[in-house]
Each structure stands twice: as structure tokens, then as C-alpha cells.
Chains A and B, each alone.
Chain A
Amino acid sequence: MRNIRLLTAIALTASIAGLSSFSAYAQQYAAVDTTNQPLSNEVCATCHGGEGQGNPVVGGPSLAGLEPWYLRKQLENFRAGIRGSQKDYIPGNEMQASVARLSDAEIDDLVNTIAGWKVIENDHTIEGDLSNGESLYANCAACHGADGEGNEALGAPGLVGRNDWYMFRQIKLFKSGYRGVHPDDTAGKLMRPSTQALKSDQDVNDVLAYINSLDR
């Protein structure tokens, strides 16, 4: 039988949370010595998965592979309450609270660190009609690109390789006015009208099945 072996480090990533949470404590509790306090290690990973691959039950999507400019924008939006501040949408609210106190420097750190994360292939959880999906995707390609690769100039992120369950929910949020309605959310307001092309949940499933079929 094997004895427990501690093998050597197999990967090296900077501790994002070590950076992000420490100064948050320091700011609020300047008077309290936190040197011996355990810090919120990997504070993002608790909700976004151990490898940043997403956790469907908590609702945090995969972060690995997000374009740095888009990631930064979303963190800024959450911090400012442009996204996730409606109290009756709990997952958004939870994410909002988690980053509400980040400083600009911490956001820089996070964007750099997450850029180094290994992209994990996400499970496909949605089934749909590919041919209907393909024709619906005509409403999306102008901004998200013919192959779903995204378009920085328009602020539209790549859609390939994202968690389909997460995209499903985002489309519903855009449709129902939980995203893309804040006066300062220019990018979101650009996105919102196109969801009207998706008339039913089945349409949403179909277009996502098509996006799933595009290669990264």
C-alpha cells in the first residue's frame, strides 16, 4: 500500500487572493494587526471553481480564457454596481459584494493572474437544434464574430468555450432587464436588443448549441 506522498509543485500560479484580500482587510481594519490572520485564499475560486473552471451550483462561470479587457470591464462594472446590484438577483448580488472593495491595483493583479490560468474545456450541458441555432446566430455574428471569437472594438466578448448554462442565464438576464439597463452600461445596452431575436427558451438553447459547436 502507498504511504501518503507530498509530490513537488506541479504548477505555479501567483496567489491572487493573497493580493486582493489583504489590502481590503488592511484598509478597513488598519488598527487591527492582521499578520497572523488566515486570509481569504483563492477567494475567487470558492465560487468560480478550484481551477477557475466554473461552478454551476454556485453560479460562478469559468474565468479562465476571458479576454483581459472584458474581464477588467466586468470587474469594474460589478464594483461600481453597474452589474449585479439588483437585490433580488442573488448570484449577481453575491458577485457584486465579493469585489465591491477591490482597488484599481488589485483589479490589475487579478486580470494579470487570470490571464495565466489554464483554459479547461467546459462540459456542454445544453442540447438544441443546430440548424435553427445557426440561423439565429446571424443576429449575433455582427458583434461576437462569425466564429464567436468576439470583438474588442465593440466590447463584445468571445462566446466560444464559455459555460453554456451561464450564457443561458445571461441572455435571460439581458431579456428581462437585469443586465444591460444601467445608464452607465453602454456595452450592455448594445447587447440587450439582440436578445429579442430569441423568442423562447428553445431558441436560446438552439443558439447556444450552435455556439458550442464552434471551435475555439
Chain B
Amino acid sequence: MKKFVSRREILGLIAKAGASGAVLQASNALGIVPDSYVDIPKIPPADPSNRPSVVVLGAGVAGLTAALELKKAGYSVVVLEAAGRAGGRNMTVRHGDLIDEVGNPQICDFDDEPHMYFNAGPARIPSSHRNVLHYCKELGVELEFFINENKETYIQDDAMLDGKPIKNREFTTNARGFMAEIMAKNFTNAELDQPFDQWEVEALMRALRRMGDLDEDMLYKGSTRGGYSHGGFLEHGHAHEAVALRDLLKTDLFSMALSQNEGETGPMLFQPVGGMDQIIKGYLRKLPDEVFYNVMVTSVMLQNDGIEVVYEHKGIKYKIEADYCFNSIPTHLMTGIDNNFSADYKEAMAYPRRGEAYKSAFQAKERFWEKDDIFGGISWTNQPIEQIWYPPHGMYKEKGIILSAYNYGGGMHFTQLTQEERIETAIRQGEKVHPNYRNLVEKGITIAWHRMNHMLGCSARWQKSRSGFTQEEERLFQTLRQPAGNRHYTIGDQITKHTAWQESAILSAHWAINDMLARKSGGAMPGQRV
């Protein structure tokens, strides 16, 4: 029997739905997809008898991009990397890998199989990130689809339906149904003021009826699109009972469920086959001798005609001199590295805050989500774990790696727990989405970016307010983007307006190379490039 939802109830809730509509609009505005185009710097080939030298600090995506392009043009390039591995935040964790969190080092004990990996940093490539895709092609990195949105996943909120998880398809079907009904009702009023002709009115009504699966009276009374409770093939299918709009509105995930997954977090994205660090491996194939590991930069000094960098390796200090420096070390770590930059430049380095993103993962003893029709996608919950991700790859294999928590905005809650507490919390919260979770997962790993060695953050936070850069922030940003002494470039996603994307890291390196070329050729324009 379908539960009938009264008109009065719906009308009484219009105001609330209107409010969430405003939220929806606001969050879409934040998710605007920026424009990006591929324009690889055209670097005039260097004179082989007089090769300009460049020292690149940090072997993340930005540093490796700069090194690759400059090497191709014949520059003499060295990359200094403090960690024992390249990639920086681009980090894929597999069997035997070290997770170098200060105070909480872990060694991953997942089964040693190609599909048993975890992308601890970047995991998704949107189709609009053309430069990342360009390098994947150039570097021979094979791509596959990443399923970001999957309606078979769950939405769970302690405040909704007694905390029971509901399939995303059921949730969205009901939400759309009620919203279509509300729009259809309101349209009759709107008609009076608007000169719509009969055809237009009918077209709109047809669309609304379809969108919400409304009945002939334009009322929503449940829909089989939310899935069958039973039957459907050999027997007649029975739809789930409609869930009242009032119940759906109990969760803040309501607006999220309807507004998320557009643009850069659209339903269909890409991932490299075998882990995000295949991109790094691709770069390293082209830079076999240039990258030095376990070398921690401790001093960066501008000279009259170049730059001097001191680094430490196994307790011994070395000095290196070059014509240019491309520096991707996080600015909040550069403030602890000896330098002779101007006071303005130092002030700008000290401004961005450290992000707190947190991720964790389990090895699943069996791919239990597949028995629940889930292949890829994300379940959402209001608990601190926020998300559970199901691997889009390795279908029907025995085991898989499941993301058990992802909190991008504020991971401090988890960061401050001990390893044991982090694991137990992820299990307890995951149990609310998947009963028996505790017995299905093992070998948990956690990545608290705020504490990762040589990183201490997930991405630079320039803006103190959500409404955009203040004039002061803009000034600091432009100061840091200009080269110090015409020799030292700060690069990385940290010096872009769209931090936390690899595309930005690449574009920052291109920007710096182009700026260097313009200045070298004497073609620098008066004023500042923006």
C-alpha cells in the first residue's frame, strides 16, 4: 500500500523547499567549471654549449611538469625531493608502502594485487582538465572511467528515517517527485502574469510529469523509479512506498543529493588504470636521472645572477647553484626554510592556511557492495566519515579497496585520533550504512594530510571568506606569483585560484615557464602579468 502524502503537507513545506533551492543555487555557483585549454609553453631550444640550469624543488605534478618541459628544450634540470618517493600529494598506496605521517607512520598491508590500491590524494580526473589528459596521452598513461555518481549507493543521516540508510535512487526519485508537484502547482499562478501559450504550458506540464513521475492530477504518489520492493521480472513489480518530503528534508544531504555531481565532480570522470601515480611514473620515465630523493631543501638564496639552494641528505649538507629555481614546496613549509626573499614575498608565503583533508580505506574481504547492486560511486552520510567510495575497477574480483572516510573540508576530527581510534570510528560509522561492515573490512589505513611529512596540509587555503578573494588577498597572491629576483618562481596548485586540482598544478608550471621566457627575451611588459 502506498502511503498518501497530503497536499497540505506539501504546501506547508514549500517554504522549506524554496530555502533548499537557494542553497542549491549557491552551491552550484561554487562548483563552476573553470575554463582550461592546452597551450604547452613553446620554449626555444637551449644552446647545447651553454645550457641554462634550473633547480626544481619538489617532485609533485607541478615540479615534474616544469622539469619535463624544460628538459625537452635542452635545459639542465635537477629536481630535489624531500620524500623518498615522487608524486607529492599524488599518492597511491599499495602493499608494503609507507604512509609517512609524522608520529603515525603506517605500512600498508593490503594484498599484493594490481587492483588493490588506494588513491590517498587525487583520485578523479574531470574531462574538462585537458592538461592532465594531455600529459596522460603524452606519457602513455592508460585511462579508464571513474564512476563518481551512482544512484545505487546510499544516503544516511541519523536525523532521517530513524538513521536507516536509503538508496540514493529512492531518495532522489521522491525528492524530484515532490519538487515537480510543487512546481506544477505554482505554475498555475505564474501563468497569470506570464504570457505562455497553451503549447508551452502543456510542454512544461509534460516535462514536470515526467521529471517527477506524477499522476494525471499532477500529484506525486510514489514511483517505481525508486526501485521495487519485490517482483519486477517474473511477477509484477511493487514500488517502494513513497517517503514523505518532510522526512527527506530532515537531512542536510537533501540539497547535496540534488546539486552535487556536476562539472568537476560529475557522474563520469576518469582515473588512470592501476592508480593515480601512473601519471607520476609516466613523468619519471622521461626524467630518469633528474630526480633526487630524500633531499630536504633547507635554504634558498637569491644571488645576483642566479640562485643558491642548500639541501640535506643523510645528515650532510650540499649546495647547488642554478640560473632559475621553480619551487613547489608548500608555502607554509617555505616559511621555515632559510631564504633572503623580500619582506613582501615572505608575508605572502605566510598567508595561505593549511587544509585538513582526511581519507581512510579498508581492504574488503569480499566485494559486498556488488551484492547490493553497487558498482562504483559514493554513499553519503552526515557522520564525520561523510563518504564511502566503492572502487569502479576490479569488478567481481574476490576483494577490493573501499574508501571508508573522506572529509575534505575539515578532517581535524579524525586527525586528532590515534590510529586505533580512527579505524574503530570508521567501522562504527560505516556500520550505519552497511550492516555487518565490521566483519567485512580489515587492514585499515588512514591519511591525515595535515600531518603528512613534507606536506602538512591538503591544499593552500587563500580565502578567509567564502565570498571570494579580498583585495588584500589578491595583493598577496599577485606578489607571490611574480618571480622573486626574476629567478625564483613559486609553483604548484598553491599559486592558482583553483587549488586542490592537478590541472592547476600543471597550469602553474606553464605560467611560470612562459613568464620566465617573456622576461628572458626582454619581452616583459611593463606592470605585472595577471
Q: With A38-B98, A55-B332 given, can you name 20 additional A-B contacts, CB distance below 8 Å?
A: A2-B306, A2-B322, A6-B318, A8-B318, A9-B317, A10-B319, A11-B317, A12-B316, A28-B105, A32-B109, A37-B107, A40-B102, A42-B312, A47-B456, A50-B296, A50-B298, A57-B336, A94-B450, A100-B103, A101-B103
Instruction: Give 1 or 0 for each of B32-74: 1 = CB within 8 Å of chain A CB.
Output: 0000000000000000001111010000000000000000000
Q: Whole-angstrom distance from the CB of A208 to the nearest CB of chain B?
A: 19
Write out the residue numbers on chain A whose beta carbons fall within 8 Å of the beta carbon of B105. Answer: 21, 24-25, 28, 40
Q: Which of A24-38 contact B (CB under 8 A)?
A: 24-25, 28-29, 32, 34, 37-38
Count, chain B residues at interface, CB 8 A? 56
How many pairs of A and B residues are in contact by the CB < 8 Å rule? 157
Q: Mark B324-358, 1 if CB is under 8 A from A, else 0.
A: 00000001110111100000000001100010000
B298 contact set on A, CB distance < 8 A: 45, 50-51
A residues with CB within 8 A of B: 1-16, 18, 21, 24-25, 28-29, 32, 34, 37-43, 45-51, 53-58, 60, 87, 90, 93-94, 97-101, 120
Q: Are B76 and A37 in contact (CB under 8 A)?
A: no
Question: Which of B52, B318, B332, B416 is close to A58, meaning CB atoms less than 8 Å apart?
Answer: B332
Most chain B CB within 10 A, of A10, A24, A50, is at A50
Closest partner residue, chain A, to B309 (CB atom): A4
Given the known A-B contacts A2-B321, A45-B296, are A97 and B310 also in contact in the complex, defined by CB atoms under 8 Å?
Answer: no
Question: Which of B4-12, B78-86, B262-270, B506-514 lies at the interface?
Answer: B78-86
CB <8 Å contact, A57 and B335: yes
A24 to B: closest C-beta gap in Å: 7
User: Measured between C-beta atoms, what is the minimum distance from A85 to chain B in Å?
Assistant: 10
**A-side binding surface: helix, strand, loop or mixed?**
loop
Contact B332 A57 (CB under 8 A): yes
B293 at the interface (CB under 8 A from A): yes
Assuming A2-B322, A24-B105, is B333 touching A38 (CB within 8 A)? no
Q: What is B's interface to A at a CB cutoff of 8 Å?
A: 50-53, 55, 76, 78, 82-85, 96, 98, 100, 102-105, 107, 109, 293-294, 296-299, 306, 310, 312, 314-323, 331-333, 335-338, 349-350, 354, 412, 416, 450-451, 453-454, 456
A58 to B318, CA, bound (A): 25
- Closest chain B residue, CB of each to CB of A21: B105
Q: Cα distance A60–B52 when bound, in Å?
A: 37
Q: How many whole Å from A111's CB to the nearest CB in chain B?
A: 16
